[in-house]
């Protein structure tokens, strides 16, 4: 009589919003390989291919234990033939030749550099690449025309390339809390984005502003931006305001909150006088009416892939449309209200996933 101990097989739900994805996981080499190919595909404008690699990487991020070999890949959802080959190669050889070739290519390195500039997307980076530009110095020496946003991105490139740390994020929250306390008593300031998911650092800080009495938040963005300007803390800002007409025609993919993308002068706590006393950091401000706050919080906490999967799940599995303003039930023809993120998950018939497990 032979008894075999069967390893519990890895069970992975098909949608990332059905899975618990912590920040730390035992597959960083595998995830990095797939995410490099995802990024490279997006640099070539190949969205579908990029998404396929992103999906595969996200599946590896959520595995509750380390893979015991390539044989375990076959039971997992979302691992296509190409991803499977890459993973097998990394598992067996430690590296994947295709990934290493991409990483060393001039094309990938230049696209990565250019898209890292605030205000530069894939299309602009690609145009510059085709014009023969390869460095920030090239942009200057060729007299490349830059938008106001890109000028700021180039000017503060070195500072913005240094990730924002948790202490810096906290001091930005304090700064904004302090300002809003004067401008609009009882206003709330909520940290969203990667920091809410527990990331130790990020490329920016994302803050949602609101007020428990709906309507009182109107005008807050303008006064906050003016205040930051008066304190000489605004190095760059780009605000957009939702008009009443736009705000009422909800159910769109892009959100229509009053928002401001900024580069801020963050004053550093330094002892000596010879040290430069500030550095540039990116801060995103979004003003949200109280009744939409749970939806905005869910939408602005990320990760981007988790958000994409929530919306895909809502549409394809529930016939609902989810965005940062609300949840629309197409079968009932009504908007579903929620006073917390938990209630939104309930409406969708999903187990609640806390922010720290949304690192899909």
Catalytic residues, by residue number, are 204, 206, 284
Using the contact rule CB under 6 A, the part of the chain among 1-9, 24-32, 107-115, 301-309 near ligand CTP is: 301-309
Helix (H) or strand (E) holding 40: helix 28-43
CA angle 160/162/167 to nearest 5° reads 105
- DSSP annotation of 162 reads S
CB 284 within 8 A of CB 260: yes
Using the contact rule CB under 6 A, the part of the chain among 81-89, 270-278, 303-311, 341-349 near ligand CTP is: 303-311
Query: 6 or 81: whose CB is closer to Mn ion?
Result: 81
List, edge to edge, every strand of the sheet that includes 334-336. 320-322, 327-329, 334-336
Helix (H) or strand (E) holding 155: helix 148-155
Query: 86 or 296: whose CB is closer to ligand CTP?
Result: 296
Helix (H) or strand (E) holding 229: helix 220-230
Q: What is the DSSP string of 75-127?
A: GSTT--HHHHHHHHHHHHHSS-HHHHHHHH-HHHHHHHHHHHSTT--HHHHHH
168: contact with ligand CTP by CB under 6 A:
no
199: contact with ligand CTP by CB under 6 A:
yes
Radius of gyration of the CA atoms of the chain, in A: 23
Question: Which does residue 303 touch among ligand CTP, Mn ion, none (CB within 5 to 8 A, set by kind)?
Answer: ligand CTP
Please pick, from the candidates 206, 258, 309, 341, the single residue that binds ligand CTP as defined by CB under 6 A.
Answer: 206
Please pick, from the candidates 50, 202, 289, 294, the single residue that binds ligand CTP as defined by CB under 6 A.
Answer: 202
- Minimum distance between the CB of residue 193 and ligand CTP, rounded to whole angstroms? 3
**178-197 mask for ligand CTP (x: CB under 6 A)?**
---------------xx---
Cα 332 to Cα 80, 97, 295, 318, 342: the distances in Å are 36, 52, 19, 11, 21
Please pick, from the candidates 302, 305, 338, 355, the single residue that binds ligand CTP as defined by CB under 6 A.
Answer: 302
294: contact with ligand CTP by CB under 6 A:
no
- DSSP annotation of 55 reads H
Interface of this chain with ligand CTP, residues 81 to 120, rule: CB under 6 A: none
> Half-sphere exposure of 212 toward its Cβ, with a 13 Å CA cutoff?
2
Query: 18 or 356: whose CB is closer to Mn ion?
Result: 356
Residues that bind Mn ion (CB under 5 A): 82, 193-194, 202, 204, 206, 284
Interface of this chain with ligand CTP, residues 314 to 333, rule: CB under 6 A: 324
In terms of Cβ atoms closer than 10 Å to its own Cβ (0-12, 13-18, 19+), residue 305 is buried
- Minimum distance between the CB of residue 136 and ligand CTP, rounded to whole angstroms? 21
Using the contact rule CB under 6 A, the part of the chain among 3-11, 34-42, 198-206, 334-342 near ligand CTP is: 198-206
Query: 56 or 360: whose CB is closer to ligand CTP?
Result: 360
Question: Which does residue 300 touch among ligand CTP, Mn ion, none (CB within 5 to 8 A, set by kind)?
Answer: ligand CTP
In terms of Cβ atoms closer than 10 Å to its own Cβ (0-12, 13-18, 19+), residue 74 is exposed
Residues that bind ligand CTP (CB under 6 A): 193-194, 199, 202-204, 206, 255, 299-300, 302-304, 307, 324
């Amino acid at each position: 009589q032979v008894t075999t101990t069967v390893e519990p097989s890895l069970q992975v739900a098909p949608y990332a919003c059905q899975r618990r994805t912590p920040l730390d996981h035992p597959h960083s080499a595998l995830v990095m390989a797939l995410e490099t190919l995802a990024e490279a595909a997006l640099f070539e404008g190949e969205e579908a291919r990029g998404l396929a690699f992103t999906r595969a990487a996200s599946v590896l991020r959520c595995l509750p234990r380390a893979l015991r070999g390539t044989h375990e890949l076959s039971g997992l959802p979302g691992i296509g033939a190409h991803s499977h080959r890459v993973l097998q190669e990394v598992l067996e050889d430690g590296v994947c030749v295709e990934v290493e070739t991409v990483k060393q290519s001039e094309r990938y390195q230049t696209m990565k550099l250019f898209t890292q500039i605030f205000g530069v997307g894939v299309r602009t980076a690609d145009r510059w690449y085709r014009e023969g530009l390869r460095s920030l110095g090239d942009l200057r020496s060729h007299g490349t025309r830059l938008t106001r946003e890109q000028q700021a991105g180039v000017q503060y490139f070195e500072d913005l390339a240094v990730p924002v740390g948790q202490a810096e994020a906290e001091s930005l929250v304090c700064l904004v809390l302090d300002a809003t306390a004067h401008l609009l008593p009882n206003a709330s300031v909520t940290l969203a984005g990667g920091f809410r998911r527990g990331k130790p650092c990020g490329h920016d800080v994302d803050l949602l502003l609101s007020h428990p009495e709906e309507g009182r938040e109107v005008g807050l963005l303008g006064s906050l931006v003016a205040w930051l300007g008066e304190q000489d803390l605004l190095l760059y800002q780009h605000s957009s305001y939702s008009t009443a007409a736009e705000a009422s025609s909800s159910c769109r993919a892009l959100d229509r909150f009053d928002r401001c993308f900024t580069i801020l002068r963050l004053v550093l706590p330094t002892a000596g006088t010879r040290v430069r006393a500030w550095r540039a950091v990116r801060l995103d401000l979004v003003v949200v009416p109280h009744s939409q706050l749970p939806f905005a919080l869910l939408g602005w906490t990320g990760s981007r892939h988790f958000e994409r999967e929530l919306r895909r799940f809502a549409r394809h599995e529930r016939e609902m449309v989810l965005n940062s303003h609300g949840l629309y039930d197409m079968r009932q023809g009504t908007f579903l209200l929620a006073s917390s993120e938990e209630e939104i998950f309930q409406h969708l018939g999903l187990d609640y996933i806390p922010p720290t497990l949304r690192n899909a």
